[in-house]
Amino acid sequence: MDAIWPALFSALPQLGGAGVILVVLVLLLRASGTDRADYRTELKAAAERHTDEIRRINGDHDAEMAEVKAEVRELRKKVIELELAVDVEREGRRRAEDMAAEARRMRGPM
């Protein structure tokens, strides 16, 4: 490839304006090929960084969801315990009201 450049430059006067345009076009195509390769390399690196970031975020999310699910399980147990305590209290009040009503009936009218 290096041997082509001296031959091309020595032939420039014979090629004229079209030769200059051809040389500029070749130089631009080489530069764009290099730029394209650099761009593809950067794009691949960015895609890998993005994939790693998504994996990290998904891992954090999964851990957070596991904590939330554990907390929800604990809260459900607590709700069941509290509902049971309320049911026991209601039953005790019903019994007390029934006993009071029975005592009033036994005592008779006032």
Structure-block tokens of residue 65:
């969801």
Please write the tens of the pLDDT for every residue from 14-63: 767 777 777 778 777 777 777 777 888 899 999 999 999 999 999 999 99
State yes or no: pLDDT of 6 exceeds 90.
no
Please give the backbone phi and psi of residue 2, each rounded to the nearest 5 degrees, phi first: -70, -25
Residue 5 binned pLDDT confidence (cut-offs 50, 70, 90): low
Residue 7 binned pLDDT confidence (cut-offs 50, 70, 90): confident
Contact criterion met (CB below 8 Å) for 12 and 19 = yes
For residue 34, the model assigns a pLDDT of 73
For residue 1, the model assigns a pLDDT of 53
DSSP 8-state symbol, 1: -
- If one compares 10 and 98, the residue with the highest pLDDT of the two is 98
Tell me the mean pLDDT in the region 70-75. 98
CA pair distance 95, 9, nearest whole angstrom: 112
- If one compares 32 and 100, the residue with the highest pLDDT of the two is 100
Please report, to the nearest 10 degrees, the dihedral formed by the alpha carbons of residues 17, 18, 24, 29 taken in order.
170
Structure-block tokens of residue 42:
């950067």
Structure-block tokens of residue 75:
């809260």
Tell me the mean pLDDT in the region 71-98. 96
DSSP tally for the chain: helices H, then strands E = 1, 0
